[in-house]
A and B are shown apart, each in its own frame.
Chain A
C-alpha cells in the first residue's frame, strides 16, 4: 500500500517530467473553454484533442494553471463551516480610539473593557459568521493569543456568542497588545 507521501512524490516526479518538456514551435492547441469543460467533466476531450494535449507541453501547462485555479476556488467554499482560527491586527497607536479590534475575516471582535487594575477582555463572535451556529451549539472552547503568541484569554463561548475573562497582565491591554506585535489570533482549543 502506498503512503500519502509516496503518492505525492510520484505525482511530483511525473509532474516534473511532463512540465520540463519543450517542443520546438509548441503552441496552445486547445482553448480554455475546451480545457475547462474537460476539467469539470461536462465535455470530455475527443481522442484527437487528447492526443493534441499529450503532444503539447505548453497546453499541458495551461491545463495545470486552470486545474490549480479551479482547486484554489473550490477549496474555501467547501470549508465554509470549517473554522481553523482567525487573525487580526490592531490599528496604529496614533489612531487609537474607541474602536475595538476586529479580526481580518470580520467574525471576531475583541472588546477591551474596565479600567486601571481591573481590565476585562470580551471576545465576541459575529452571528453572521458561517461557522457561528456550530460554535454556539458546541459552546466551543476558544483561546486568544497576542502577537507574541502568549495566551491572553481562554474560555468557552456563552449563549450570546461571547467569552469574557479578566486581563491576565499588569499593563493595560491596549499598551500590551501594541507592544506585542499589534496583532491577535483567535483559535479553537
Chain B
C-alpha cells in the first residue's frame, strides 16, 4: 500500500522487520535494557542506537539488506536505519519497550516478538506523521493501521474473486447472493474488480462478517476488539479510504520520488521559514488565532537572548602542537595533528559557529555527524579520518575531547538543542542585524 509520504507500508516491510529483529537481538544482548539499573534509559537508548547502526552497517551487503524496501527506491537497510533513528528521537517509545522487555531475561523468540511489536507501532507513527507532512490531512497511527487493514482485505477479496469457481460459497457470501453450481459464467462484479477503487464497502463488510465461517478466524472488523468499531458501522468511511488508497496508488505508479531532490538546494526553504517568523513579528496580525481544533495555546515564545557580535575564535584549535593530544590522536588511529588540521579547515563566521564556539572541535564534529551524517559531501578532507573517509567515530572524538563517551553525547545533545533554539528564534536575530 502506498499513501502520500508513507515509506513503511509496502511488502518490503516484512524484510525491514526481520532485519531489525535480527540486529536487535545482537544489540540488546550487548546492552540489555534494565540490566544496568544505574544507567539512565536515555543512555541505554544511545547505546542501543549505536549498536544497531553498527549491526546494520556490518550487514549492509547482505541480500536482505540490499533488497527493495519500498517502491521509491529505498533499500531494506536504509528503511531499517531510518526507523532506528526515529526511535532515538522518541524516547517514550523506548521507555515503553524497556518496561515490557526488562522484566525477564527473555528467550530469543520472545525478545524478538517484543522488538517486532515496538517497531510495528513505530512505523505506523512515523508514516502517520509522513502522511500529514505530505498532504496536510490529519492522520493517526491507528488510522494508518486501518488503511492497511482495508488494503489487505481488498487483496484477499481480489484473490477470492480471481478464483471464484473454487470459492463459490465465500464469493457468494461477499456479494450477498448465492453462486450455486449452475452459475457458469463469472459474476459481473468479478470481472469489474480491477483495482481497490472498484471494491465496494459492503463486500468488505460481508467478507469480514463471514470470514469465521470459511476460515475459522474472525474477520478484522468482527473481532471482539473495538479497534475498528467506528468503521464497522460506516460503509461511507470505508469507501472513502478505499478510494484514497486507489487514487494515490494510481497517481504514484510512475514513482513519486522526493520532489525536493530536483531543487539545487533543498535547505533554501529555511529562508522562507525565517521570513515567515520575521513577518509574523513585524506585523501584528490580530486574533483570533487560527489554530486547528482550537486547542488552547499555552506556548510561550522562546525568549530571545541577547547576542553580541561573534567574538574572535577561542584558543581552540590550539596553534601549538600539543604532544599529549598528539599521542591521544595516534592512540585512536588518527593522525597526530588531526585536531589542528581539522580546526584550520573549519569555517567559523556564521551564527551556528557562534552558538557552538565554546564547545570545542570534537563536540562540534559530533554535532555534524549527528545532524548531517558521518560522510557528508560538504565536509573538508581534513575532517575525515584516514581509512574510513568519514568523520571520526564517537569513541575517537571522546578520546580527543578527553571525556567519556556519555559526557561527549551529553555535550553534543546540548549543542544541538542550542542550534534548535537559535534556528527557532532566528527571525528576531535578523531584525536586529
Cα–Cα, bound, A176→B90 (Å): 59
Other-chain contact of A28, B92, B136, B270 (Cβ < 8 Å): B136
Cβ 8 A contact of A51, one of B136, B299, B368, B422: B299
Given contacts A21-B89, A52-B289, A72-B259, contact A12 B280 (CB under 8 A): no
Ordered by A's residue number, 18 sampled pairs between the chains whose C-beta atoms are within 8 Å are A2-B350, A13-B352, A13-B367, A14-B419, A17-B423, A18-B423, A30-B291, A31-B290, A34-B290, A43-B285, A45-B279, A47-B284, A51-B299, A54-B299, A58-B129, A60-B273, A67-B273, A72-B262
How far is A43 from B169 in the complex, measured between Cα atoms in Å? Answer: 61
B268 and A51 contacting across the interface, CB-CB below 8 Å: no
Chain A nearest CB, measured from B248 CB (Å) = 16
Q: Which residue of A lies closest to B379 (CB)?
A: A9
Q: A22 and B90: CB pair below 8 A?
A: yes
CB-based contact B263/A63 at 8 Å: no
B433 close to chain A: CB less than 8 A? no
- Using a CB–CB distance below 8 Å, which chain B residues touch chain A? 86, 89-90, 92, 129, 132-134, 136, 138, 259-260, 262-263, 265-273, 276-277, 279-287, 289-293, 295, 297, 299-302, 347, 349-352, 367-368, 371-372, 378, 416, 419-420, 422-424, 426
Q: Does residue A62 face the partner (Cβ distance < 8 Å to B)?
A: yes
Interface residues of chain A, those whose CB is within 8 Å of chain B, are 1-3, 5-18, 20-22, 24, 26-34, 38-39, 41, 43-52, 54-55, 58, 60-72, 75
Known A-B contacts A3-B347, A45-B280; A71 and B132 likewise in contact (beta carbons under 8 Å): no
A38 and B349 form a contact (CB under 8 A):
no
Q: Which 4 pairs from chain A and chain B are nearest by CB?
A: A48-B289, A14-B423, A61-B133, A16-B371
| Contact yes or no, B273 A64, CB < 8 A | yes
Secondary structure class of chain A's binding surface, majority of residues: helix
Given A10-B351, A10-B352, A64-B269, answer yes or no on A17-B416 (Cβ-Cβ < 8 Å).
yes
Residues of A within 8 A of B420 (CB): 17-18, 21
- The smallest beta-carbon distance between B272 and chain A, in angstroms, is 4
Measured between C-beta atoms, what is the minimum distance from A10 to chain B in Å?
Answer: 5
- List chain A residues, Cβ under 8 A from B301: 47, 50-51, 54
Complex CA distance for A3 and B292, rounded to whole angstroms: 40
Chain A residues with CB below 8 A from B260, complex form: 68, 72
Distance from A4 Cβ to chain B, minimum over Cβ atoms (Å) = 9
- The answer to whether A1 touches B138, judged by C-beta atoms less than 8 angstroms apart, is no
B392 to chain A, nearest CB (A): 18
A170 CB to nearest B CB, Å: 40
Bound Cα distance A21, B86 (Å): 9
Say whether A68 contacts B259, CB under 8 Å: yes
User: Given the complex, which residues of B lie within 8 Å of A3, measured CB to CB?
Assistant: 347
User: Which B residue sits closest to A7, measured CB to CB?
Assistant: B350
B95 to chain A, nearest CB (A): 11
